[in-house]
Amino acid sequence: MGDILLQQNVIILVVAGFLILLMQGLASFFGIYIYKKWDFSSTSAFQYTLEKKSYLIVLILFFSLIAKIILLPYFAFTIDSLSDVVHGAMCAAGVVGANEYGNFLLGLKIFIIFIVGIWLIVNKLDITAYDYPYIKTKLILAIVIFAFIFIEFVLEILYFTHISTDVPVQCCSVIFGVSGSSDPLPFGINTQTLLILFYSIYILVLIANIQKNPLFSFLSTILLFYFGYYAVTYFFGTYIYQLPTHICPFCMLQSDYYFVGYLIWGSLFLGSFFGIVNLALKLLIKQTIQKYFLYSTFFNTIFVIICTSYVVGYYLVNGVFL
């Protein structure tokens, strides 16, 4: 049980995660105090002290959240390096699936990064305004983030302590359904339908962004994220690996494929983030930021271009599709 936990990268991940949890927790709870006593219209020395203290809270939160963002690709890297010690694992896919916590943990981490990003934006808007209009919103949001980070930390410990180095795990071909399990694509669609959906939803995202409609953008982005994941794993990935049976979302993160996985998933995440953020901002602080629609378009387009270029490139070189 302790085997994995004592791996270098895992120790770093867990201890750094604990530090951030601690800082986040202290800052969030001190933030409650500020929330209660805050009265911007007051000119008392106490209010000015509160304003100064809120600087510290915000600073600690800012630092811990940036650190969280850095730790996510590091988590991906750690999982990948664990494939050297976990039997049967050829890449991160096997390691993530080593127990029931893995996939949920990964999903939670991504979700946390998204809400952290929202917090950072609300914070920026708050401190550049003239009267700290969103201070209460961002302090509450910090507590919410803390709760999620706490759950994530517990899950992480559970996950790492339940990876066995003796029992072999499944490799991606079993997990992702090449070796004969049931049809892995959602709603039983085939690859052709998936691709049609993929590109159509991308067009929808573009339209939503041009119209600058937060709700429409949110919905289309979620769909693109969902179907994009399947499209990359089950179709575009095969062109990256140049093997129709190699179905895996993680292998493309390795150096064999020039780490293109980070680019692909990175651009999808960024595109998705900017697509959903405006709805969140509208709900939280009744404001949207126009340029984020543009960023959403930009990153989603890069994502689609990279994916498509592998297919086109393969066709141009080989004259056929896989």
Partner 1 sequence: MINKTFLSFLFLLVYQHRIKHISIFLISTLLITILVSVMFISTSIKHQLLSFVDSQSDFVVQKVRAGNRDDIPNEWIDDFRNIRGISHIQPRVYGEYYHLASDYKFTIVGIDLFDEYTSLQIKKVFDGIDIEKFMSEDYMIIGNGVKDFFDKNYYKEYYNFLTPQLDIQRVMIFDTMPKNSDIISNDLILMDIDLAKRILGIDKDKSTDIVLNVPNDTEWINLKVELIDKHHNIKIITKEDLQKSYTNLYNYKSGFFLIVFMILLLTFCLVLYQRYSMINSSDKKEIAIFRATGWSIKAIIVLKVFESSIVGIFSFLLGVIIAYIFVFVFDAPLLADIFLGSHNIGYDISFVPYIEFSMLFSLFMFFMIFFIASVLIPAWKIATSDIDGSLR
Partner 2 sequence: MIKIKALNKIYNVGQKNEFVALRNINFEVLPNTVVVLKGVSGSGKSTLLSIIGGMNKPTSGEVIVEDKYIAKLPDLHLSNFRASSIGFVFQSFHLINDLSVFDNISIPLIPLGLSAKEIEEKVNYAMQICNIAHKSMEISKNLSGGEKQRVAIARALVNNPNIILLDEPTANLDSANSKNLVEILSNLKKLGKTIVISTHDSLFDELDFVEKIIYIKDGDISG
By a kind-dependent CB cut-off of 5 to 8 A, residue 143 interacts, out of partner 2, partner 1, none, with: none
Query: In whole angstroms, how far apart are CA 287 and each of 121, 222, 244, 281, 282?
Result: 11, 21, 46, 6, 5
Please, is 200 exposed, middle or buried when counting C-beta atoms within 10 Å of its C-beta (0-12, 13-18, 19+)? middle
Span interacting with partner 2, options 39-47, 67-75, 194-202, 295-303, rule CB under 8 A: 39-47
Of 280, 296, 297, the C-alpha closest to 288 is: 280
Name the binder of 131 from partner 2, partner 1, none, CB < 5-8 A by kind. partner 2
Q: How many CB atoms lie within 10 A of CB 287?
A: 13
Q: Which does 150 bind (CB under 5 to 8 A by kind): partner 2, partner 1, none?
A: none
Q: How far is the CB of 291 from partner 1 (least distance, A)?
A: 20
Footprint of partner 1 on this chain (CB under 8 A)? 3, 5-12, 15-16, 19, 23, 52, 55-56, 59-60, 63, 67, 70, 74, 77, 81, 84-87, 127, 165
Residue 39 contacts partner 2 per CB under 8 A: no
Contacted entry of partner 2, partner 1, none for residue 70, CB cut-off 5 to 8 Å set by kind = partner 1
- The helix-helix angle for 135-161 and 260-285 (nearest 10°) equals 140
Of 124-132, 190-198, 208-216, 265-273, the window that binds partner 2 (rule: CB under 8 A) is 124-132
Nearest distance from C-beta of residue 59 to partner 1, angstroms: 6
Nearby residues of 149 by Cβ (< 8 Å), 6 or more positions away: 20, 21, 24, 68, 112
Name the residue nearer to partner 2 (CB basis): 110 or 127. 127
Return the range that interacts with partner 2 (CB under 8 A); candidates 128-136, 176-184, 200-208, 302-310: 128-136
Q: Which of residues 49-68 bind partner 2 (CB under 8 A)?
A: 51, 55
Q: Contacting partner 2 (CB under 8 A), which of 62, 104, 132, 153?
A: 132
192: CB partners within 8 A, 6+ apart: none
Residue 229 in contact with residue 197, Cβ under 8 Å? Answer: no
* Of positions 56, 66, 129, 243, contacts partner 2 by CB under 8 A: 129
With 0-12 / 13-18 / 19 or more C-beta atoms within 10 angstroms meaning exposed / middle / buried, residue 185 is middle
The Cα angle at residue 294 between residues 229 and 192, in degrees rounded to 5: 30
* Interior/surface letters 149-164, b for 16+ CB within 10 angstroms, e for the rest: beebbebbeebbeebe
The item of partner 1, partner 2, none sharing an interface with residue 44, based on CB under 5 to 8 Å by kind, is partner 2
Q: CB-wise, 6 or 283, nearer to partner 1?
A: 6
Q: Does 38 bind partner 2 (CB under 8 A)?
A: no
Q: How many Cβ atoms sit within 10 Å of the Cβ of residue 244?
A: 12
Alpha carbons 17 and 50: distance in angstroms, whole number: 28
Residue 85 interaction partner, one of partner 2, partner 1, none, beta carbon < 5-8 Å per kind: partner 1
Partner touching 283 among partner 1, partner 2, none, CB below 5 to 8 Å by kind: none
